[in-house]
Amino acid sequence: MKAIIIAAGQGSRLLPLTLDMPKCLVRVGGRAIIDHQLDAAEAAGITDAVVVGGYRIDQVGDHLARRAGKIATTLVFNPFWSISSSIGSVWAAHDHLRDAFMLMNGDTVFAASVIVDAVRAAPPGLTLVVEATTDIHQDDMRVAIAGRRVAAVGKGLDPAVADHRSLGIVLSTGGDAYARALRDTIAAPGGTDAYHHAVVARLAAHGVNALVVDPAADWQEVDAPADIARWEHGRHEDALHR
């Protein structure tokens, strides 16, 4: 399995922290966001990662070149990072989407155990990692599940029906279903402005597994300075760095 990390954006809500650096290099708990992700992927036994960069990609490349660790990284450029949504970054990595992969949003920090458990527990096919919660926020990608399957995905879903939220992690054990759905999603009206979860939504009718994490799972989406403080003061660093 290969890790694919979407790390092309600036992160305007983190300004001024991202005035001179990309969001993925902002330090949270003493480490860059991308290091949380790569370390967790390595702990899960993943040996290769594709990082999709855009804003100040030279800094991302320099950081990856200096990184310690055994996971090999390939940097891919998304030249449309400033005018397309996250789906544009997934398209930039489309050559890697037919093999087994784990796709991750580049603005989320995880305890290593979250990724280790997800890789270990994901069944064959396509899987979206979700958390059951009643604390739904406006920016959350809401998920409705039926049994162990994804029924619907979207930010506008009714919280009364969509009582799960996505961690931004999609796993595939291989095949071309995701790549074909990505192409069809982008080709549809407004497709370049879609979030990459729209691909999962398109495939839901054909069967997408829902992997529900433990309620105590340590993870945090980093959109604003308050999120950094929440991780550093309310959550704990993963076992690799305790």
Q: Average pLDDT, stretch 178-199?
A: 93
CB burial of 191-220 (b: ≥16 within 10 Å; e: otherwise) equals bbebbbbbbbbbbbeeebbbbbbeeebbbb
Question: Would you give the DSSP letter of residue 105?
Answer: E
Q: How would you classify residue 69: left for phi > 0, otherwise alpha for psi between -120 and 50, otherwise beta?
A: left
The percentage of the chain sitting over the pLDDT mark of 70, rounded to a whole number, equals 95
Rounded Cα gap, residues 220 and 108, in angstroms: 6
Q: Where are the beta strands (DSSP E) in 15-141?
A: 27-28, 31-32, 48-53, 72-77, 101-105, 108-110, 126-132
Domain 2-230 matching CATH 2.40.50.110: the answer reads no
Distances (CA, A) of 171 to 26, 61, 103, 235: 25, 25, 6, 25
For residue 168, name the pLDDT band (cuts at 50, 70, 90). very high
pTM of the model: 0.91
Instruction: Return the structure tokens found at 86.
Output: 């996250």
Task: Decide if 7 contacts 24 (C-beta within 8 A).
Answer: yes
Q: Which region among 16-20, 25-29, 122-126 has the lowest average model confidence (pLDDT)? A: 16-20
Distances (CA, A) of 225 to 10, 177, 230: 14, 37, 9
More confident residue, 221 or 127: 127
